[in-house]
Amino acid sequence: MIVPRLVAWADERLGTRSFVKHALRKAFPDHWSFMLGESALYALIVLIATGIYLAFAFNPSGERGPYHGPYVPLQGTTVSGAYASVLQISFVLPGGLLFRQVHHWAAVLFVAAILIHMTRVFLTGAFRRPRELNWMVGFSLLLLGLFEGFSGYSMPDDELSGTGLRIGYSIAAATPFIGKWAAAFLTGGAFDSPQTTGRLYALHCILGPALLLGAIALHMLILWRQKHTQFRGPGATEANVIGAPMWPNYAIVSLAFGSLIATLLVALGAFVQINPIWQYGPYHPWQVAAPAQPDWYLGWLDGALRIFPPVEINLAGYHIESALLAGAVVPGIAIGLFLFWPFVERAFTHDGAVHNLLDDPFGVPQRTGIAAATFTFFAVLTFAGSNDIQSYYLHVPVDVLTVAYRVLVFVLPLLAYLATVELLRERTSWPPAENEGSRKTIVRTTSGGFDEKATRS
Amino acid sequence: MTTSLLAIYAGLYFWGVARYEQHTRRRFPQRFIAAECIALVALWVAIVALDAWADASFAAHMIQHVILIAIVAPALVLGAPLRVLLGALPRAQARTLARVLRSRAVSMLTAPPIAWLAFIAVLWGAHYSNLYELALEHPAIHIAEHVAFLASAALFWSHAFPVAPLPARLAPPARALYLFLAGPPTAFLGLSLWSSHGVLYPHYLHVTNPFGLSPLEDQHAGGLVMWASGSVMTLTAVLAVLARWARAERSAIVACAVTFACSCIATPARTNAAIDGKIVYAVHCASCHGADLRGGPDAPSIRGVGAADVDWWVATGRMPAAIPWVQQPRRPLLLSPAEVDAVVTYVVSVAPGGPPIPHVETNGNLQRGRELFAQNCEHCHGADAQGNSIGSDYVAPDLAAATAKQVGEAVRVGVGMMPKFGERQISSNGLNDLATYVDWVHCGRQTPGGIDLSAIGPFGEGAVAWLVVTIGVTGYAWFLGTRMRRANETKEPEPVD
């Protein structure tokens, strides 16, 4: 009784009925790869839900004092308020460790889900006109995800993340002209200033989520306005969208998908340990955690720093170091290239037409080849980011690995590109055309042997 | 007749003990005599007192056998009758007997694998054949059977207690394994009797059971006796050996897991008194480090390096090394702990100097130890002391197997690529704290949160995340998407949005 009356009440004042009716009838293309973007969305929902709980208990204070808590080896040790509060969350707060681990796993998964979704969009050419803008919004979401990840990883003020923060600070400080100020903005003064965690807290919990949610709203709004792309198929044209209506078909499937992601994340948080900061200890600038690595999504940056040769350039009185070249110039080029990819590609293809129908990834060897090369390039850099651990477990000298990665980072992407292009070219020219006269007819003779009959043309 | 034979044996034994004390001018250990007395009493109980029942009940017969094997035989061995004999005989005859005992033939016949095989062969042969039935019918065979039991079991036990003057002597872990291996065959025998479906020995069908059990029930009870007492016997013996060993060599317990499997082969007699550091050095070290300890093309000089240095290299199994001038990994010990001590003493006595072996305890301050570890050790050995690569082809090793003493030695000496920390950097109290923390990391640490990936760090976490995304998330999307598509294909295409 109450629901229809409430609906009528709202409809009378806001005119919602026609919108909702319209929205519920919206068609979703029924191809499984269109659900990959949603996995990032559901991971974000888990991130926000767990993040709010953690924010209640987190203390973004750089003030140091003795630790009094249940973790025995740190009792009485001087730690920052931030570090102590994360220990408190992990060991004392009911469900705290579970929430923390789910939050961290969701963050790690969030970036991976964005990348998988982006790969689909890239391979099928969904970014082409008219969707260039939404590609750029989506790419900004990836960058925001990386930023949120790095700031969140750094907030507990533990030995491992402090080492990472110091690298970030050094890259910023190595920038000519604005280095000092950029670095000071990040940490609120000289390195390891007590204000650092407060800054990170504001960036991670207020600015970051605001930008992230705003960008997601924009992403969805543009999607809604422009409608989905779709694969070629019976009845599919540039001017329509064929698929399941949002209600009830697609919504139910999507909810099932969201439940699975939430389940996976909670299961990971419950059963697989992530970022045990108590083992790394509180951060001191004169100590280094080993093995020191960032979370996987910044591993490529660490890898670039590890294998970049130690060069220094003097440019108009400014010192350009390898830290800047590897840590800012390489990622700057990569980010710039892919942020503006729709325009970069158009410059080569001169294809300015509107595309609502997707490309078959197997049918566009060049683009798929570039995707393979990019993936390989970043994979090599990511693996280079843990060369010390590979050296330890594989018993290969770390210097050998470094040199090998310096070669592989150029060779493997090139090979991946050439191999992909060549394979896809062969695939498109197969099976060979019928009128080539290559067909033979084999006839069995009465004596049991085989004979080739005249060639059919 | 049995009773009088036992009395004669006892008389001879005590006479021998008296002669032994007279010859050697040393008291024969009282506990050996006590053991021999227990053996004789138990033997009398088994053979004389239980004999009437053993003929009428299989279970009673099994109790008789168990007493022979598990009480009489080990106690007899512990009484050291051969030692008594050696001490009691005139010198010339004693020397002949000793030569016989140390001869190649005896050492091969009494080697642990042979002893074990003989023990099991007699045990199984007596029960899994017509021999049992024959023994019940003919008293002579029965006596022979008991003698065989006693002899094989005594040989078996003589490797468990290092009192018999036999050539082959097992190292404690090998001894534990040797005893443990006797468990399965005895248990199998007992279990097969306990779970049998028919009466195996027809003799018992024709006699009245003294306990009122049916022949099959009696047989099951006998199997149970065999199984339970066999298991208890072997496990007790294994525990006793391990406990003895633990008391003798506390630090060796850590290495136990590593060396257990490797040292199962019988090693030639190693008595502490016989070990000469000079000989150990000559055999294991001198080929590279030189007879004068000055080194050579394959090894550095070790003159004046100190006890801590030598002990660390040898007691962690890194020395003797097969390949020189490379970083040596921790290996199972080639030398016995006593040999390690002997060679350390020898090296220091020839060329004194260097840091002594520090006295390190694991009862220090855990918090202070953690701080010291974070300041001085963590950046190479890793936050979890799990080890890591430190550039070029050097690694800072995993500290899981390092004992407190070895941690202390490495710190004071600065072994390999490691820096040296003197008293001014880390005090002896600090060293205790550090060892306490290292011990805690590997034995008692609290690290909640599930499967521990911290040895690999965020790289491992990323790998798990990608596994979940590619298999879990993408796979489920594919599963749902294709099912949705199939459901939609049965209907007309939806109209344009």
- Mean pLDDT per 10-residue interval, chain B, length 497 residues: 83 85 75 86 84 80 86 85 79 78 77 87 82 80 86 86 66 81 83 78 78 81 86 84 71 47 39 66 82 82 90 90 80 85 90 89 91 90 86 84 91 90 90 92 80 81 90 89 75 53
Q: Give the pLDDT score at A44.
A: 95
Q: Give the pLDDT score at B494.
A: 53
- Substitution target from A34, A35, A153, A238 for chain B, most B beta carbons within 10 A: A35
- Cα A1 to Cα A7, A10, A346, B155: the distances in Å are 11, 15, 56, 94
Q: Give the pLDDT score at A266.
A: 95
- Cα B269 to Cα A14, A367, B66, B81, B168: the distances in Å are 98, 75, 30, 20, 6
Nearest Cα to B130, choosing from B202, B55, B192? B202
Chain B nearest-CA residue for A79: B371
- Cα A164 to Cα A61, A169, A288, A301, B112: the distances in Å are 19, 9, 10, 11, 59
Asked if B451 and A272 come within 8 Å (Cβ–Cβ), the reply is yes
Is B292 at the interface with chain A, CB within 8 A?
no
pLDDT in tens, A149-202: 999 999 999 998 888 888 888 888 888 778 878 888 777 777 878 888 888 999
> Are the beta carbons of B336 and B281 closer than 8 angstroms?
no
Q: Provide the β-strand partners of residue B396.
A: B388
Please compute the mean of the pLDDT values over residues A368-374 and round it to a whole number.
Answer: 95
pLDDT in tens, B65-118: 888 888 888 888 888 888 788 777 777 777 787 777 777 777 778 888 888 889
Neighbouring C-beta atoms of residue A4, cutoff 10 Å: 8
Which of B382, B440, B447 faces A290 most closely, judged by CB atoms?
Answer: B382
pLDDT band at A438 (very low <50, low <70, confident <90, very high): low
Task: In whole angstroms, give the CA distance from residue B164 to residue B81.
Answer: 8
Please compute the mean of the pLDDT values over residues A279-301 and round it to a whole number.
Answer: 87
Which of B450, B484, B495 faces A253 most closely, judged by CB atoms?
Answer: B484
Nearest Cα to A129, choosing from A344, A370, A342? A342
Tell me the nearest-neighbour CA distance from B444 into chain A, angstroms: 11
B391: which chain A residues are within 8 Å (Cβ-Cβ)? 398-399
- Give B 183-242 residues with CB within 8 A of chain A: none
Q: Give the pLDDT score at A56.
A: 93
Task: In whole angstroms, give the CA distance from residue B262 to residue B251.
Answer: 18
Structure tokens at A43: 């991971």
Question: Is the predicted pLDDT of residue A79 greater than 90, yes or no?
Answer: yes
Instruction: Fill in the amino acid letter for A328.
Output: A
Structure tokens at B413: 């000496």
pLDDT band at A54 (very low <50, low <70, confident <90, very high): very high
Question: Is the predicted pLDDT of residue A215 greater than 60, yes or no?
Answer: yes
Q: Give the pLDDT score at B254.
A: 46
pLDDT band at A282 (very low <50, low <70, confident <90, very high): very high
Task: In whole angstroms, give the CA distance from residue A186 to residue A454.
Answer: 80
- Cα A185 to Cα A82, A181, A228, B108: the distances in Å are 19, 6, 41, 81
Task: In whole angstroms, give the CA distance from residue A297 to residue B459.
Answer: 10
Tell me the nearest-neighbour CA distance from A375 into chain B, angstroms: 14
Q: Give the pLDDT score at A433.
A: 55
Chain A nearest-CA residue for B364: A73
pLDDT band at A133 (very low <50, low <70, confident <90, very high): very high
Least confident of A36-45, A169-178, A304-313, B90-99: B90-99
pLDDT in tens, B244-263: 777 666 544 544 444 444 44
Least confident of A96-110, A241-255, B198-212: B198-212
- Cα B112 to Cα A135, A232, A341, B1, B12: the distances in Å are 77, 79, 76, 34, 29
Asked if B379 and A290 come within 8 Å (Cβ–Cβ), the reply is yes
Task: In whole angstroms, give the CA distance from residue A425 to residue B220.
Answer: 78
Is B327 at the interface with chain A, CB within 8 A?
no
Structure tokens at B467: 């596994």
Structure tokens at A50: 């767990």
Question: Is the predicted pLDDT of residue A57 greater than 90, yes or no?
Answer: yes
